[in-house]
Amino acid sequence: MIELKQLTKTYGNKKKATTALSGLNLTVKKGEIFGVIGHSGAGKSTLIRCINLLERPTEGEVWVGGVELTKLKRRELQQQRRKIGMIFQHFNLLSSATVYDNIAFPLKLMGVPKLQIAAKVNELLELVGLTQHQKKYPAQLSGGQKQRVGIARALASDPDVLLCDEATSALDPQTTDSILNLLLEINRKFHLTILLITHEMHVIQRICDRVAVIHQGGIVEEGPVTEVFLKP
């Protein structure tokens, strides 16, 4: 579902350059929950942002659902991005919009008719358990509730892939558990492919099928979670 080939990302210019990713290869299969773990500065954030081209790779190929994204024109890229949802550590919600409107936002941008938007948003509110809170603003919500809004918004365009950028790092352990349970449920229900990055081992052990360890911009180890972490 996701294939990264020889992915390289260099920030800065010739005088002062930082190589965040160097020739990284990674394959994530359809329907799996794949975790990338590594220390701060290892390149996790750059990696996940390259998958939807929030960050332009310097070199290499990004394949999602059989389409290579780096060579697409603007319009085609916009279309393909609908297949890729993303959630963030700090939720990135619109503070002046209600829960309902935050979830509806991507559908409005896509020009979906209002009745269809309402049906979809209500379905998503139900899924993430926020029907009762749909008229509230982000500031009135707990961290876990905010992330539920983030998840609902990410699912609005029926993506094939969900990217999670340190999605539970700002949450307490109990809330983290409930969000990870929700991600598991969504993965099972929709056969959604999930790629998450984290610096927390327990997140990987809790929900991931396979894991890759990233170090200095490259994958240094990869395999099923039980094999990578339970070696003698």
Name which position in 33, 44, 208, 228 contacts ligand ADP (CB under 6 A). Answer: 44
- Count of residues that bind ligand ADP according to CB under 6 A: 19
Q: Scanning residues 59 to 98, which ones bind ligand ADP (CB under 6 A)? A: 98
Taking the complex as a whole, the smallest distance from the CB of residue 76 to ligand ADP amounts, in Å, to 26
Contact criterion met (CB below 8 Å) for 213 and 222:
yes
Choosing from 3, 101, 209, 222, the residue that interacts with ligand ADP (CB under 6 A) is 101
Site for ligand ADP in 5-24 (CB under 6 A): 11-12, 18, 20
DSSP per position, 48-62: HHHHTTSS--SEEEE
Q: Which of 115, 148, 119 is nearest to 133 (CA)?
A: 148
Q: Which of 176, 198 has the CB closer to ligand ADP? A: 198
Transcribe 79-90 into DSSP letters.
HHHTTEEEEETT
Q: Return the biggest CA–CA distance within the chain.
A: 57
Tell me the residue type at 161: V
Task: Enumerate binding residues for ligand ADP (CB under 6 A).
Answer: 11-12, 18, 20, 38, 40-46, 98, 100-101, 114, 118, 122, 134
